[in-house]
Structure 1
């Protein structure tokens, strides 16, 4: 396989194309080159050469979620977006922010923080703006501000043939082409290369309080979540942390180390912690926090604490980058917390598998980190999927070691798969953009 860079690629990217190294491999597949365009125009010129030569391309930001998704069918070129990181506009009065896709989320929050504003995208692993949009990665604030697709109001992208397309705008009320931005959000880079994003911002509340309680078992966790969700209070986030392991695999250093006591196998489910964030005027936040504390205590929560700082585990959705860990995204209805925890406990019992659930039960999205023998991990995933009707959700494998990937389908069956394939064919008929990475091998 030749690694000599063509003159056309070099001209398109102002010379910023280099042979790939071992660190550029994606799930065991090493590309030939890495290109680092600095603008939408350079990206478009690069993609015109890619289309002409039939090269397979994957976009890369900071790489924090690059392993999410399937192994690419082929990979010739990685497009590194880190140089497409300009702050285009921060219209503080309109609560709108526009920046290049390669800008880090940390820098975005710094850009807007001085104006007392924030972006409601707060995934625990950080990353770039484009990466968060491409993977639809949200954090705890999703409950209050909405999912990523709710915050994107405009987008600039480069199609597989090098044509630049614009969707939406920088004004919140402008909805022209908004469906295209929604389509690209969560598409894992299979429909176009995102180069610029316009987003809706929110003011940072003056007062913040966290209320944290221990929950003894699955029933108590479900009751506490429902008590908060059905109250007249409007929390900004509700986060759950539950270690799960069988009696033979709960030693120090496991996923739940330091997280508190565990129930014995066969009980109503493991013990854990539930934390609620309330925000607003300082006096109002203090009053609301006390009301939340009373709700949690009345619904079976123990050791209820109110503080100005989050618990140590807040927002860290189970260390997605831990080597050897299989990371699941599990969705469920609001009432599905208890059955999910019970099924997870039963699946882990006696298997030698250690698991740790953490996420946002009030919006029905949890992440589960699983460690253990590959056959046992695959069996746990299958058991969760079979039982998913009980919590009315889905189980997707975001990341996994190679031996687990070989044993499970990362994605779940999608009724609209035929339509999704038709969209892929329309946007990328040559299958040049991250082929095989998305659901159904798209």
Structure 2
């Protein structure tokens, strides 16, 4: 285990010269994502310092091995948070590498929108830095965006600079139940066109019924949720409309719906108007769904490691297997040859020794 960027550079230089494959590992909570791949585990847990927290600038610099939960505790002491909420597990480096996000993506964007700088270690030991430690920094190529979602296949993410947001002082969630996917999708589309300033706008579906969930934060959260509940009461097909102020269990359930210990979870990327067909495909496959209802993203949990029928039903939408990716024949969707060629060139540029998780990315890169 290494405890500094300099040590990581020396370790990777030795692996690169020997041509020994490596697999960056944080908390190991998303180990199967992208497929098993190859490589000796390269643990980042020794890089566990919160290097800087600048409350006045709403920024922080974190080493890759810092657990997200630990970082959130420090930020909360200043009334701030990193608006990244995929669950309670994971390290900063691992979450950036997998681009994993939760319900807060509706308001605050994905991981790429929160990363303002990175320090990377490449296969020849080179330490590369991109971005900065302040929000208004646009100089140079944004390697943070390239490495976000790279699944550890281009290099080691050693340090991350992030932007923070004010921590909501209180929350409330408007909920409504549906038994018709089209009615739920229509209600979600109607709300997404309104200037609601919601924190989260999610859908959930399992075993023939679902819910639409709209969360607000701040001193007016209850009043905003009540106003949306009134709108939902008038929506076709809606029932059991309610406002929940002690709402964290609702959102914990949403995050849990994106994970599976023994089945598979397929992430589907489409358009916001695709919610109804996504729900029907999940229902036909015997699975459950959670979705960012205004963003065209859904996570479908299936009891068996077989996504062939799901991909066929949702084509041409992108279907990527996350949990269970190491138990299916191909966790990645097919890509057109031009895109695959660009990815191959990027891999060759950043990992010419081809030691970072060979075979674990799209098209076997």
Matched residue, 1:299: 235
Matched residue, 2:315: 388
Matched residue, 2:295: 363
So what's the TM-score if we normalise by structure 1?
Answer: 0.78
Q: Which has the higher contact order (CA 8 A, sep 6+)?
A: 2
The alpha-carbon deviation at position 313 of structure 1 amounts to 4.4
SS across alignment from 1:422 = helix
Aligned length: 361
> What CA deviation, in whole Å up to 9, does each residue of 1:208-253 have, x standing for no partner?
2111111122012101211210112121101211114xxxxxxxxx
SS across alignment from 1:416 = helix
Given the superposition, is the C-alpha separation of residues 78 and 55 from structure 1 closer, same or farther in structure 2, using an over 3 Å criterion? Answer: same
Matched residue, 1:12: none
Counterparts of 1:126-145 in structure 2 under 5 Å? 126-145=89-108
Matched residue, 1:3: none
Question: Structure 1 stretches (4+) deviating beyond 6 angstroms?
Answer: none
Match of 1:62 among 5, 21, 27: 27
Counterparts of 1:37-436 in structure 2 under 5 Å? 37-72=2-37, 74-75=38-39, 77-124=40-87, 126-177=89-140, 179-244=142-207, 270-280=208-218, 282=219, 284-300=220-236, 301-310=238-247, 312-314=249-251, 315-318=254-257, 320-323=259-262, 325-345=263-283, 347-348=284-285, 354-372=286-304, 377-384=306-313, 387-389=314-316, 393-400=317-324, 405-406=328-329, 408-414=330-336, 415-436=338-359
SS across alignment from 2:287 = strand
Q: Structure 1: give runs of 5+ residues left out of the alignment.
A: 1-35, 245-269, 349-353
So what's the TM-score if we normalise by structure 2?
Answer: 0.94
The alpha-carbon deviation at position 336 of structure 1 amounts to 1.0
Counterpart Cα distance in 1 of 2:233 and 2:89: 33
The alpha-carbon deviation at position 401 of structure 1 amounts to 7.0
The alpha-carbon deviation at position 184 of structure 1 amounts to 0.6
Counterpart Cα distance in 2 of 1:382 and 1:330: 9
The alpha-carbon deviation at position 342 of structure 1 amounts to 2.4
Counterpart Cα distance in 2 of 1:133 and 1:55: 24
Given the superposition, is the C-alpha separation of residues 125 and 116 from structure 1 closer, same or farther in structure 2, using an over 3 Å criterion? Answer: closer
